[in-house]
Amino acid sequence: MYFIANWKMFGGFSSLNSLNKVIKFLRGFKNNKIVKIIYCPPSTLINAMSKKLKNTKIEVGSQNCHENENYGAFTGSINSKILKDAGAKYIIIGHSENRQTGENDELINKKIKSALKLNLRVIFCIGEKLVEKKKKITKRVLKNQINLGLRNIKNKNKILIAYEPVWSIGTGLIPKSNELFNTVTFIKKILKNNKVLYGGSVNPKNINQLKQINNIDGFLIGGASQETKKFIDIIKKTYI
Ligand code: PGA
């Protein structure tokens, strides 16, 4: 199971101290061989974090990247090459918070290709908006995001899918268990060999419900991942 911490635009260098607890927890955890923890902090922390986690099994990822795989005159941007150099092994691409501010499927497709060219793993986010859910077009939306986002990408084995309904991110709401099971089954029918994670308001309370859904391969955790205790609780409870 994957547990991916998406810190979003939170955290400074002092936040790295909170990882001590997670490192210690993982060392003593009886399921540590089957747990994969990945931290995606703000870009400024990637290098320091990957150094700190060097001798652990915890890996570091970025929350986005520029689509150009080479260096270039793109003021303020950071691409996969720079992120890899800093220590990132994964890149979250297509997060709804970036789709909302203008990233379209075509751009997301370019970003995914650029990350794969550098041999990085991709956490590809897809999800329907509330209006789309109400219109009952969730499957169509997801299929479209997958087809366009992964267009002309033959080797998909470095891609993890994060199913994140937009209406569940940061709202405290999660899908009904049967709906979530069906949606993940639908995604896995399209992408037969890819892991599918769930993201959106995952917390230590609702993890007991979410862990029962047996086709989910892990969780992308935003808000709750910023508090070490909550993050560890989520992992512990998944295996109780
Ligand atoms: P949340 O965010 O857990 O705070 O809802 C999840 C995400 O945006 O990846």
pLDDT of the residue at 130:
98
- Closest of 36, 162, 187 to residue 96, by C-alpha: 162
Rounded Cα distance between 21 and 16, Å, is: 10
Cα(73) to ligand 1 centroid in Å equals 32
Across the chain, how many H-helices and E-strands are there? Answer: 10, 8
Cα(211) to ligand 1 centroid in Å equals 17
Residue 221 Cα: closest atom of ligand 1: 3
Per-residue pLDDT of 17-40, as tens digits, reads 999 999 999 999 999 899 999 999
Q: Evaluate if pTM is beyond 0.75.
A: yes
Residue 220 Cα: closest atom of ligand 1: 9
Question: Where does the chain have alpha helices with state H?
Answer: 19-28, 43-52, 80-86, 96-99, 105-117, 130-134, 138-149, 177-190, 207-210, 228-238
Phi/psi for 103 (5° steps) reads: -75, 125
Rounded Cα distance between 141 and 122, Å, is: 20
Tell me, yes or no, if 95 is annotated catalytic. Answer: yes
Mutate to test the pocket of ligand 1, among 167, 197, 220, 226 (most ligand atoms within 8 A of CB): 220
- CA quadruple 142, 126, 159, 105: dihedral positive or negative? positive
Measured at the alpha carbon of residue 191, what is the angle toward residues 190 and 196, in degrees to the nearest 5? 115
Would you write out the chain's pLDDT as a tens digit for each of its 240 residues?
A: 999 999 999 999 999 999 999 999 999 999 989 999 999 999 999 999 999 999 999 999 999 999 999 999 999 999 999 999 999 999 999 999 999 999 999 999 999 999 999 999 999 999 999 999 999 999 999 999 999 999 999 999 999 999 999 999 999 999 999 999 999 999 999 999 999 999 999 999 999 999 999 999 999 999 999 999 999 999 999 998
Mutate to test the pocket of ligand 1, among 2, 3, 4, 6 (most ligand atoms within 8 A of CB): 6
Cα(178) to ligand 1 centroid in Å equals 21
Rounded Cα distance between 35 and 203, Å, is: 17
Phi/psi for 137 (5° steps) reads: -115, 20
Other CB atoms within 10 A of residue 38 CB: 23
Rounded Cα distance between 148 and 151, Å, is: 5
- The DSSP secondary-structure symbol of 26 reads H
Catalytic residue among 59, 67, 95, 103: 95
Classify residue 87 as left (phi > 0), alpha (psi -120 to 50) or beta. Answer: left
Three-state SS for 76?
coil
Residues with CB under 6 A from ligand 1: 6, 164, 169-170, 199-202, 220-224
For residues 36 and 78, the answer to whether their CB atoms sit within 8 Å is no
| Block residue for tokens 């709804």 | 96
| Block residue for tokens 């990408």 | 153
Per-residue pLDDT of 147-187, as tens digits, reads 999 999 999 999 999 999 999 999 999 999 999 999 999 99
